[in-house]
Structure 1
Amino acid sequence: MSVGVLAPADSAGAQLAAQLGLPLLDAAPATGHYLVWERERLALAEVGEKARVEVDLIEGAQAHRRKFGGGRGQPVAKAVGLKSGNTPTVLDATAGLGRDAFVLATLGCTVHLLERNAVACALLADGLRRGLTDPDIALIVSRMRLEHHDARQWLPEQGQPASYDVVYLDPMFPEPDKRARAKKDMHAFQSLIGGDADADVLLAPARKIARQRVVVKRPRTAPWLAGVKPDFSFDGESTRFDAYLPLRDA
């Protein structure tokens, strides 16, 4: 079922709806989820719920992480190999809301983002649009390029040699219900989008186009992607980053 966008016809929200093939609504639906244009930004709403999901790269949690998150000492930065003399180019093939991609761009990486879900892509595109207007982060956001593609089809179509040092995969993993409900945005997203049960097919083609490594973000106790043991891993507080070396055709 397609999610509609409640927005004035002349708004940036309506433009995003047209670009992503989402229907424009005249009124909120009676049930379910919808995108709404309010306060000059796009947000995901659920009928009967006050919480809204939006991508805010300027303030809030993303701003705090940008200023106080630990820089190159963060597990995600170590996982992609960010260090003195190596600032890798990154393909984030499952961009979601772009949180880790923004961290990597903050640390100097150029990041190409792919997102297959039109709702997530619309929210992220709107967040990037607003970020480009903010003098504090405009340079960071300029390092991020978002495209609406399904990585399952996109990755195998890429030829060699590869164009990216690192391919980053963060497939949505179903969270325990209590935890998901405590994180309103995660609950809204999971109830709308669900988990990426088909993510196993991404690993092999990703390893064929990465120059340095593929990094897969997983909950700490989750199984390896596609059942393949990583070459090495980096642990965070609640997540781990499994790293795989490239594969090349003989």
Structure 2
Amino acid sequence: MNRRDRLRDTEPESGELTLCREGDSLVLAGDPALYGKPLRVDFAEGRAAHRRRFGGGRGQLIARACGLASGITPSVIDATAGLGRDAFVLASLGAEVLLIERVAAIHALLEDGLARAASDADTAEIVARMHLAHGDATRDLAALVAASTVAPQVIHLDPMFPHREKSALVKKEMRLFRELAGDDADAPRLLEAALDVATHRVVVKRPRKAPPIAGPAPQHVIEGKTSRYDLYVHRSLKT
């Protein structure tokens, strides 16, 4: 059985993951010693709320990389949605965002988090700009975008960086996420698909010292302390 499908409705055994309800939230739970606290998507509280209030607005690295500037608010396809944190930042800055997630369990967490945020006065307007799709962007990006109402001006990619056994032990949340999502060995195909579909630019998030994804070289790089954004530009974004 594929690890992306290895979910149960009973108490998880060591190394197994379970989708279950915890209070008003859907969570993904596993052995706490391996994975820590159950994983949930929450756009109204916690890290997302702090970043919404104090994150730095359009001066943030991701906003600059995606071309959000004074008078310019492009639409964005987040083709590796994950837990939706980057998409929420972009939507909080006014962008219409299509989130594409291929792992069924993570898509379910996103769907649950968006539904709860839609009932919160502080986040309802933001998540109204977030549109969720379940599918594999490496194979079906063009079809997923065509079926949505979001124009593919900017495509944002944040593929999982391959884990090296000799590296420091990753955080428990990331370990849980990697158990489901894998190492995104198909990132070069995803980049190729994004370059075919994006009308203006493709933005790829990478660890600061990591090599670019195999394929064409990025035209521009925006670098932060721990991560960077590789930019592949077709044409400039205009007001």
TM-score bin (small chain): 0.7 to 0.9
Q: Does 1:209 align with 2:212?
A: no
Task: Determine the structure 2 residue equivalent to 1:129.
Answer: 115
Q: Does 1:34 align with 2:30?
A: no
Q: Once the 2 structures are TM-superposed, how far is the Cα of residue 195 of structure 1 from its aligned partner?
A: 1.2
Task: Determine the structure 2 residue equivalent to 1:237.
Answer: 225
Query: Match of 2:168, as an amino acid?
Result: K
Separation in 2, partners of 1:70, 1:197: 33
Is the 1:174–1:190 Cα contact (8 Å) retained in structure 2?
no
Q: Closer, same or farther in 2 for the Cα pair 1:130/1:3, shift >3 Å?
A: farther
User: Which of these residues, 3, 8, 13, is aligned with residue 6 of structure 2?
Assistant: 3
What are the equivalent positions in structure 2 for 1:124-163 lying under 5 Å apart?
124-157=110-143, 163=151
Task: Calculate percent identity across the aligned residue pairs.
Answer: 49
Task: Determine the structure 2 residue equivalent to 1:14.
Answer: none
User: Which of these residues, 223, 226, 231, is aligned with residue 214 of structure 2?
Assistant: 226
Q: Deviations over 1:192-228 (max 9, x none)?
A: 3321111110112212221210000111111111243
- Count of equivalent residues: 223
Q: Does 1:178 align with 2:168?
A: yes
Query: Match of 1:3, as an amino acid?
Result: R
Separation in 2, partners of 1:101, 1:156: 19
Query: Match of 2:117, as an amino acid?
Result: G
Separation in 2, partners of 1:217, 1:77: 12
Is the 2:103–2:180 Cα contact (8 Å) retained in structure 1?
no
Is the 2:13–2:30 Cα contact (8 Å) retained in structure 1?
no
Q: Deviations over 1:144-181 (max 9, x none)?
A: 0001010012125467xx9321011111113565351x
> Normalising by the residue count of structure 2, what TM-score does the alignment of the two structures yield?
0.87
Separation in 2, partners of 1:244, 1:87: 18
User: Which of these residues, 178, 194, 207, is aligned with residue 182 of structure 2?
Assistant: 194
Q: Secondary structure at the match of 1:226?
A: coil
Q: Closer, same or farther in 2 for the Cα pair 1:240/1:208, shift >3 Å?
A: same
Q: Closer, same or farther in 2 for the Cα pair 1:90/1:195, shift >3 Å?
A: same
What are the equivalent positions in structure 2 for 1:2-21 lying under 5 Å apart?
2-4=5-7
Separation in 2, partners of 1:134, 1:202: 34
Separation in 1, partners of 2:225, 2:110: 25
User: Which of these residues, 40, 47, 66, is aligned with residue 61 of structure 1?
Assistant: 47
Q: Secondary structure at the match of 1:225?
A: coil
Separation in 1, partners of 2:29, 2:12: 10
Q: Deviations over 1:80-128 (max 9, x none)?
A: 0101121000011110111100000000000001000111111111111
Separation in 2, partners of 1:39, 1:66: 24
Is the 2:26–2:112 Cα contact (8 Å) retained in structure 1?
yes
Query: Match of 1:155, as an amino acid?
Result: L
Is the 1:208–1:246 Cα contact (8 Å) retained in structure 2?
no
User: Which of these residues, 115, 128, 136, is aligned with residue 101 of structure 2?
Assistant: 115
Separation in 2, partners of 1:246, 1:34: 42
Query: Match of 1:234, as an amino acid?
Result: I
Separation in 2, partners of 1:122, 1:102: 16
Unaligned runs of 5+ in 2: none
Unaligned runs of 5+ in 1: 6-24
Q: Once the 2 structures are TM-superposed, how far is the Cα of residue 186 of structure 1 from its aligned partner?
A: 0.9
**Greater RCO (Cα-Cα under 8 Å, separation 6 or more):** 2
